[in-house]
Amino acid sequence: MTAEPIARPHTEAPREPRLSPDEYKAVFRGHPAGVVVVTLRDADGRPVGFTATSVISVSAEPPLLAFSLASSSSSWPAVSRATTLALSFLADHQDDVSARFATSGIDRFAAGGWTALPAGEPVSTTTHPDPTIWTISFPV
């Protein structure tokens, strides 16, 4: 099986507040489990999200990371077309959030508690104020 590159138009991602390289490193140092909720908007503006356990830091300067997602995932069509996405690094006590975003066939955002970053990515209002939670918006 050979992976085919995805052709994407070059778009300038909106400038979000950026973490310094030291802040970026701190996020990954304090996040040993690697459980993250990835959120974005699909082409019709609907929120899309899923739990990712495969997140790794690639570079702090510039800040780059990687995660894996099966092309059979219901989130794949939106991710394959996304220009930005947000990652919410979850704390130990947020098993309910990670479980909800790992469950297929449900409205993962139905429980409420979501707002949007300036570029449109949905982010949790219940986890964001927690100092153990980091939400990072990345151009894709």
| pLDDT tens profile 104-131 | 899 999 988 888 888 888 887 765 444 3
For the segment 51-70, the average pLDDT, to the nearest whole number, is: 85
Residue 16 in domain: no
Highest mean pLDDT among 23-37, 40-54, 58-72, 81-95: 40-54
| The pLDDT of residue 4 | 58
CATH number of the domain that 99 lies in? 2.30.110.10
- At 38, which amino acid appears? V
Q: What's the number of domains the chain is made of?
A: 1
Residue 2 in domain: no
| The pLDDT of residue 92 | 75
DSSP codes joined into one string, 72-122: TSTTHHHHHH-SEEEEEEPPTT-HHHHHHHH-TTS-TTTT--EEE-TTS-E
Going by C-alpha positions, the residue among 65, 56, 18, 62 that lies closest to residue 35 is 56
Residue 5 in domain: no
**Residue 23, pLDDT above cutoff 70:** yes
Residue 14 in domain: no
60, 21 in Cβ contact below 8 A? yes
Residue 8 in domain: no
Give this prediction's pTM.
Answer: 0.70
Residue 36 in domain: yes
Q: In what order do the strands lie in the sheet with 47-52?
A: 47-52, 36-41, 84-89, 134-139
**For the chain, percent of residues with pLDDT exceeding 70:** 72
Which residue range(s) make up the domain with 75? Answer: 21-139
Residue 6 in domain: no
| The pLDDT of residue 78 | 94
Residue 51 in domain: yes
